[in-house]
Structure 1
Amino acid sequence: MDTKMFCFQCEQTAGCRGCTGNAGVCGKTADVADLQDKLTGALIGMARAAKGKRTENSDQLILEGLFTAVTNVNFYDKTVQELTDRVHGETARLGSAVQDYNMKHLWDAQEDIRSLKALLLFGIRGMAAYTYHAAVLGYRSEEVQSFFYRALIALGNDSLDRNDLLPLVMETGKVNLTCMELLDKANTETFGTPVPTEVSLTVEKGPFIVITGHELYDLKLLLEQTAGKGINIYTHGEMLPAHAYPELKKYPHLKGNFGTAWQNQQKEFADIPAPILYTTNCLMPVKDSYRDRVFTTEVVSYPEMVHIGGDKDFTPVIEKALELGGYESDQHFTGINGGHQVMTGFGHGTVLGVADKIIDGVKSGAIRHFFLVGGCDGARPGRNYYTDFVKQTPKDTLILTLACGKYRFNDLDLGTIDGLPRILDMGQCNDAYSAIRVAVALADAFGCGVNDLPLSMVLSWYEQKAVCILLTLLHLGIRDIRLGPTLPAFVSPNVLQYLVEQFGIKPITTPEEDLKAILGE
């Protein structure tokens, strides 16, 4: 590439082709983008050096390094360089000379090779995030961890052709299924099985802290450290499903949810009288109006922000909350559609607990169809499609949802079917395993394949975790997925044609046309 920067890993990439020049649409500078490429090249070099002699440190560095390069995680050149230096140090300790892979070879490769390698790279970046969360809770998988090394080595092998890479891309989906199952086990065994919970959107008067991201363990530690201090805790974005976990919801000062989807944070956090703690991705460039109250932890990093290190001492966040004092009176916020509360907690444990009721509903005709409408949210025009789609679904259909895309419609009151809310929030993107469990269980109950169920998947994507989830769905043989608001820029025409022929993947059109096609009307 002749430009200073090239990045096309997220849905909002410029012109649906790639971000070039001095900065990306996400706000990442060309310097940070270049450093992230160098970090990836260093990881490939370390993976080669570690062949047959992996260490716990090299395992951890792979998770941190891949996670750091996920969109909206790290905007700080200093911390990316420091991480790269740590990777180089580990490579040397493994007894090898530092020989980083030049990522220009990947970006300049033949179109289909670049496309398949991009799918592989972005898939393992997403999977690294899930693996990281499970590892924080002490859960690890040899199958998953060893695959990272194989994938990285393949990325650095310029002699591989399409026939070599395509099976590896599909294997990413298989391994990610193991990864998601591991994370589900880690979360439920640590925090309990989620239960349906109504979450208020009102922020009570007095000091409070907003916590965002996906790291539930950070929330637990924050709740412990703020207990009895007169500080309320509010979730934001992907942290919303935390309210459904028994070991988290038992804290009375976990009060509710603040704000809507991640891409609205620059407006919603303006002049907020409380600190915001970022635990994972979905950090946007910080505005001056709330710059003095942003804190980061884990792999999240931004210039000049206070970072909470591995000791997890949240004292600076707590002191800032007490200093700012919160609102002087209760503030009654609403969701995007005007609702004052939202529901969450319909994970596979809950939904399968009423499976007989759901099965009877299908047999009686009370439930005609299931829609899984989930995935990432973003700012690109066209995402209103998902709100309009859900609003237009017939009253005898159920909507399963997960990840931050649900903020487009999760405050809607669409009524119930036999006591079940028509919108069932299954959790974070981390909880995609729940949707898979439910789909497989229903197929077993009806003695058919998942593709034979009255179930349609209408997905939105933004970043790399959505990539590995999509690959998992394809590994399971699930067909006719509708994907939007645009198709990935890194998928070449030939690779797209393969996905269309093998799996029937299709872009979204309009809610009216797609519903008509799905329901055969």
Structure 2
Amino acid sequence: MVVKESMFCFQCEQTMQGIACEHGGVCGKTVETANLQDDVIGALIGLAKVVPPENTTTPLARLVLDGLFTTLTNVNFDDPAIQVILDKIEAAAADVEVYDMQQLWHNADDDIRSLKTLVLLGLKGMAAYAHQAAVLAYTDDTVNQFFLKALRMIGDDEATQEDLLALTMETGHVNFAAMKLLDQANTEVYGNPRPTEVPLTIEPGPFIVISGHDLYDLKQLLDQTAGKGINVYTHGEMLPAHGYPALKAYPQLKGNFGTAWQNQQKEFKKLPAPILFTTNCIMPVGKSYRDRVYTTSVVGYPDMVHIGADKDFTPLIDQALALGGYTEPQELTGINGGHTVTTGFGHDFVLSKADTVIKAVKDGELQHIILVGGCDGARVGRNYYTQFVEAAPENTLILTCACGKFRFNDMNLGTVAGLPRMMDMGQCNDSYSAIKVALALADAFDCEVNDLPLTLVLSWYEQKAVSVLLTLLALGIKNIHLGPTLPAFVSPHVLDYLVENFALTPITTAKADLARILTPQM
């Protein structure tokens, strides 16, 4: 086996110097792990070349999802676990030849590299959504077949810019289908979310913190902790779980611990409780709490206890009881000092208030609707989103989704037209809810989405944000403000294309962008 001394990774927003990580990931990923993950993608491309496109058997489809999902940023740092997935891919069909990802990363044609990377990262994000739906037994053959089609074209040296531009838009459309499928799965299994105020106070006694996105894992944990005197607190993107009726019915689901994912090393430092990571967002685990971290599903980290497919959370339950939690209530706060946050404004609820919104717009009571969504991160400049929400006029409505909301979701913005001015629609995949609301409002006003008093102000960090952006572009949604930086993998020519055809706009300052958004266009 050839040991590589360097890596190439520019798939997330924090990549080194805005170019690429080559000697270790800023995320904590080692050179060995990065190259092993490249081998997984290369093997999937090789598999896609030899498997018939109509082959969507459950084991194969799940293997593709597992392979793509395990290579997302902040998902799996455990080389032996990644090697197991690689071995399964190579054994899935005869004659699988691992595509050399260096051919992509160092392609002489920067635009070809850019478009192929956009598709690949979109596939990774889409795999996360399809994976969560598949856990609940919701699958779509069209989505599964597209993964193979797109992977084949990524490995096709003859693919043209025109081919790849079309594939990029198709990736966005198929991701919309994947998000719709996950929305169907979550709402049919757990019910339609309803607005719910979530406390940030941690009560005395044993507890467990659960992070990530997978509601199925939370449901299993709630079942197993029932009647045992153990409370459960969500963390990060698990916060929206509080809005689902079937989950909030558990009395031990008490509240939310901490803020966004990038603060976990500080917030978990002295935590007298175990932590369960269910999907991505795990950071390098600090020594002060490494004996209390557990992983499950595709998440992996060296020397951490992994809970397998049986979802037996006994080790966490036993440790929670042994640690005992806090002896006194812990009055925690959000970033801005608030003691509660609110979630659960899914499309079902928001559209039930559509008449109120429409009347408020027509009467001039509601000037503009702004979706401030996307991922959070540690890079300087993300306070832009806090400043933006703070400066937004009182006659604007702020919709949120994904973990960027932790910058401002503990603020009390009051009401507009009798509705809360800030409505959290949920996780990153719940961008589907925002799109569904926008399409419904466009129908009600008998106009195009781009003609609505609606603007999207997005922050991106990793690959799920890329897939959502591709969906928005594929649906023809324009004038999206994107930050805090532009992706390193987008070439100048591809960026020019996005600016020219979709008016994609890099963020500047909160004050300037708000002025531009709220000034009527002639």
**TM-score bin, normalised by smaller chain:** over 0.9
Partner of 2:79: 77
- Equivalent residue number for residue 56 of structure 1: 58
Unaligned segments of structure 2, at least 5 residues: none
CA distance in structure 2 between the aligned counterparts of 1:434 and 1:164, rounded to whole angstroms: 30
The alpha-carbon deviation at position 3 of structure 1 amounts to: 6.8
CA distance in 2, matches of 1:207, 1:79: 31
Q: Give the equivalent residue in structure 1 for 2:41.
A: 40
Instruction: Map 1:283-294 to 2 at 5 A.
Output: 283-294=282-293
Which is further off, 371-380 or 152-161?
Answer: 152-161
Offset at residue 54 of structure 1 (A): 4.8
Cα deviation per residue 1:242-292 (whole Å; 9 max; x = unaligned)?
000000000000000000000000000002000000000000000001000
Q: Deviations over 1:213-259 (max 9, x none)?
A: 00001000100000000000000000000000000000000000000
Q: Which one-letter code corresponds to 1:129 in the other structure?
A: A
2:70 maps to 1:68:
yes
Equivalence for 1:14: 16
Determine the structure 2 residue equivalent to 1:127: 126
The residue number in structure 1 matching 2:103 is 105
Deviation at 1:436, TM superposition (A): 0.2
* CA apart distance, 1:142: 1.0
CA distance in 2, matches of 1:490, 1:470: 14
* Identity across matched positions, percent: 64
Q: Is the 8 A contact 1:334 1:340 kept in 2?
A: yes
Structure 1 residues 54 and 411: CA distance shift in structure 2, 3 A = closer
1:263 aligns to what?
262
**Does the 8 Å CA contact 2:481/2:505 hold for their aligned counterparts?**
yes
Is the Cα contact below 8 Å between 1:57 and 1:90 reproduced in 2?
no
Task: State the shift of 1:108 in Å.
Answer: 1.4
1:98, CA displacement in angstroms? 2.9
1:353-432 correspondence to structure 2 within 5 Å:
353-432=352-431
Of 43-52 and 6-15, the range deviating more from structure 2? 43-52
C-alpha distance in structure 1 between counterparts of 2:509 and 2:214, whole Å: 35
TM-score (norm 2): 0.98
Structure 1 match to 2:301: 302
Are the aligned partners of 2:78 and 2:301 in contact in 1 as well (CA < 8 Å)? yes
What is residue 477 of structure 1 aligned with on the other side?
A: 476
Do the aligned partners of 2:44 and 2:64 also contact (CA within 8 Å) in 1? Answer: yes
Aligned 8 A contact 1:32 1:75 in 2? yes
> How many angstroms apart in 2 are the aligned matches of 1:364 and 1:164?
47
What letter matches 2:288 in structure 1?
S
Taking only aligned residues, the RMSD between alpha carbons, in angstroms, comes to 1.0
Task: State the Cα deviation string for residues 154-187 of structure 1 (Å, max 9, x = none).
Answer: 1111111211111001100011111111110000
The Cα of 1:50 is off from its aligned counterpart by 1.3
Task: Report 1:330-345 matches (<5 A).
Answer: 330-345=329-344
1:362 aligns to what SS in structure 2? helix
Structure 1 position 366, deviation (Å): 1.0
The 5 A counterparts of 1:266-285 are: 266-285=265-284
* Cα offset, 1:419, TM superposition: 2.5
SS in 2 for 1:8: coil
Distance (whole Å) between structure 1 residues aligned to residue 11 and residue 73 of structure 2 = 8
Unaligned runs of at least 5 residues, structure 1: none
SS in 2 for 1:19: coil
Cα deviation code 1:476-519 (max 9, x no counterpart)? 11101000000000000000000000000010000011011111
1:105–1:158 CA contact under 8 A, matched in 2: no
Q: Is the 8 A contact 2:125 2:466 kept in 1?
A: yes
Q: Distance in 1 between matches of 2:157 and 2:375?
A: 32
Which AA in structure 1 matches 2:69?
A: F
Distance apart, 1:46 and its partner CA: 1.3
Q: Residues 392-447 of structure 1, C-alpha deviation per residue, up to 9 Å, x if partnerless?
A: 00000000000000000000001101321100000000211000011111111111
Range with bigger deviation, 28-37 or 102-111? 102-111
Deviation at 1:51, TM superposition (A): 1.5
Q: Deviations over 1:359-399 (max 9, x none)?
A: 11111111000000010000000000000000000000000
Distance of 1:135 and 1:41 partners within structure 2? 23
Q: How does 1:154-165 map to 2 (within 5 A)?
A: 154-165=153-164
2:280 and 2:106 mapped to 1: Cα distance? 28
Q: Is the 8 A contact 1:72 1:282 kept in 2?
A: yes
Instruction: Measure, in 2, the Cα distance between the counterparts of 1:202 and 1:222.
Output: 20
- The residue type paired with residue 35 of structure 1 is L
Deviation beyond 3 Å, 4+ runs, structure 1: 52-55
Residues 365, 416 of structure 2: 8 Å contact kept: yes
